[in-house]
Amino acid sequence: MSVKIEGLRELISNLAKKEDDIIRAAKQGNLAGGKAVVEELKRNVPQSGYNGPNPQTRLVDAVVMSGNRTDKGSEESYVAVGFNKSANFRAHIPEFGSISQAPQGYMIKTVQATEGKVAKEMADAIKKVLR
């Protein structure tokens, strides 16, 4: 059985357009998922009551999200969520604890709470772009 395809150039150009739409949809999905994680992380970050002579930026005010990045090895697109440079060196102390402070595990709580929500937000964003 043989199949004759007419309009091969049109087919290739339509597939190329669809590929661009898929890449754009994936990037929009990454941003939507990242925003969900940022919101939850801001809710879970422990609040500091210190406002002495040299107060540092509170962790909740230092939560940031990157733009879309591409992994060089796998060519996958992703968004990084974390803390800015002024606070990232001390974000692990409330997470894992110290000699005088018990671990609070706010990062683990955030990951566990947002797994389903991130997938849903990403799927919704991808559906919007591809329609």
Q: What is the 3-state secondary structure (H, E, C) of the chain?
A: CCCCCCCHHHHHHHHHHHHHHHHHHHHHHHHHHHHHHHHHHHHHCCCCCCCCCCCCCCHHHHEEECCCEECCCCCCEECCEEECCCCHHHCHHHHHCECCECCCCHHHHHHHHHHHHHHHHHHHHHHHHHC
pTM: 0.78
Interval 41-89: pLDDT, tens: 999 998 876 666 766 778 888 899 999 998 888 888 899 999 998 888 8
- Residue 110's pLDDT band, with cuts at 50, 70 and 90, is very high
